[in-house]
Structure 1
Amino acid sequence: MIDRKAILEAVEEHRKDKVPLEHYRSLLGQHDPQEMAAGSSCPYDEAEKSFDVVLMGKHYFVSYPKGIITMEDGTECQDMHMMTLILRYLENAKPMEPTGANIAYRDISGGNHYFKTFEGRCLKRLAFSFGHNPGGFKKAMAAVGAELVKGGDLAYRFRFIGNRYVTAILWLADEEFPPEAQVLFDENVLTAFDAEDLAVVGDVFISELKAYTK
């Protein structure tokens, strides 16, 4: 039997996701492409009218001024959360090199307000996605060129987007304790993302890491 309620709910969710995407597409042309390239560390090709955005080791090409995003194989990206995040990054990022100094989510303005969301969408999801699968965690991190760093049982620093870096720290599950995780951000994220954005960053990078384990 067709679950019409589920179909309607899925359509409504798709519509809600599409509204902010179209909003940020409409704003893209109001920004100077060279300034966006400088702020985001994403090269702009004047001839192609396109930005080359590297996110989790993959190239996404963003047309200017329409904001249509295509992937490496030439197909159009369908992930609305990812596309919205990419557009917000291009439009909001200000020039700042990575410092190597990390900050926690609670240290960010608004972080306390959104922490429960971040904890569920990022910390717990990361912990339970990889806390029983260290081999998968290592494989995924190798795929994105991550650097092994000190912290927890396993910790890696990787480039999330442009020149903004994330550190994922994992404490593996054992007979007594469930897995735990922490996520830290290079402090230059403050010139690109707000607390609400960074909750989505967690969603996106964990999904990408899980895809690399398949």
Structure 2
Amino acid sequence: MSEFVMNKNQEPLERRADELREDLFQRDVNQLAELTGTSLRKEEGDNVFEFHYWGKPVVFSSNDFLARDLGSQQPLPPIHQAMILYYFHSSKGSPAIGNWISFSELSDGQFYNSAFQGYTAQKLTQYFQMDYDKFETRNEDQCGVRVDFGDGAFRHQILPQIAILVVYWKGDEEFPPSYKILFEDIADYHLPTDGCAILGSMLVGKLLAE
């Protein structure tokens, strides 16, 4: 599993971000925009990608490949820079969106699945238990869109081609409730499995934050 998921030391992350950034300087900006599903605004001496990240507008200049908040123009924190760089670096042509799949169905996901479930599904279950109203309110607070799946589910659009589904199945006298994080089956075309794990962990953190 990625060394970045639960690691507070940002140096390895920043080093990897620099490597990805150097690669992007060699890429064609028009192709990048097409593969990532972002808008490309051409300015004098610059090309600026525009897209939403966690529901907020972001700009990403080809002059430095730093992601900035559209309103404040302040650079995003290192972990978010890395996720966006991974997305631009990894995105390739993908088929139409099809089905929701579990983390274990991602490339190499089976190998890391136990750890991923430990800091996503298990945390959600321990926190929400049978308080489904609270679960739904938290998802709505994070701009999740209700989807007809399981006993209740919310779709979160993280990047233009990356969405995450948070779903629950109600418990009863015999079985406890179950919560799970799912990904669209095109995720492998746009992020490495490490990146999907980090985004899943981030989403759980947002849902559990008091």
Give TM-score, length-normalised by structure 2.
0.80
Residue number in structure 2 paired with 1:24: 20
1:40-97 superposed Cα distances (whole Å, 9 cap, x missing partner): 111121215221231221122112141111113322211x222211111112112335
Name the Cα RMSD after superposition: 2.7
Please say which of residues 170-179 and 104-113 is displaced more in the overlay. Answer: 170-179
Q: How many residues align?
A: 200
Measure the CA separation in 2 of the matches of 1:127 and 1:154. Answer: 14
Q: Does structure 2 retain, via aligned residues, the 8 Å contact 1:57–1:145?
A: no
Residue number in structure 2 paired with 1:115: 113
* Unmatched runs of 5 consecutive residues or more in structure 1: 1-11
Residue number in structure 1 paired with 2:31: 35
Give TM-score, length-normalised by structure 1.
0.78
Residue number in structure 1 paired with 2:3: none
Q: Does structure 1 retain, via aligned residues, the 8 Å contact 2:138–2:207?
A: yes
Measure the CA separation in 2 of the matches of 1:64 and 1:129. Answer: 42
Change (3 A) 1:133 1:22: farther
Letter of the structure 2 residue corresponding to residue 115 of structure 1? N
SS in 2 for 1:73: coil
Q: Which of the residues 87, 90, 95 maps onto 2:88? A: 90
Q: Does structure 2 retain, via aligned residues, the 8 Å contact 1:104–1:183?
A: yes
Residue number in structure 2 paired with 1:15: 11
Identity %: 21
Residue number in structure 2 paired with 1:7: none
1:13-61 superposed Cα distances (whole Å, 9 cap, x missing partner): 1323322222222222121111111111111212152212312211221
Measure the CA separation in 2 of the matches of 1:50 and 1:139. Answer: 35
Residue number in structure 1 paired with 2:199: 201
SS in 1 for 2:49: strand
Change (3 A) 1:140 1:57: farther
SS in 2 for 1:49: strand
Letter of the structure 2 residue corresponding to residue 196 of structure 1? D
Residue number in structure 2 paired with 1:72: 70
Structure 1 position 210, deviation (Å): 4.8
Measure the CA separation in 2 of the matches of 1:125 and 1:82. Answer: 22
Structure 1 position 145, deviation (Å): 4.7
Change (3 A) 1:175 1:64: farther
Please say which of residues 30-39 and 96-105 is displaced more in the overlay. Answer: 96-105
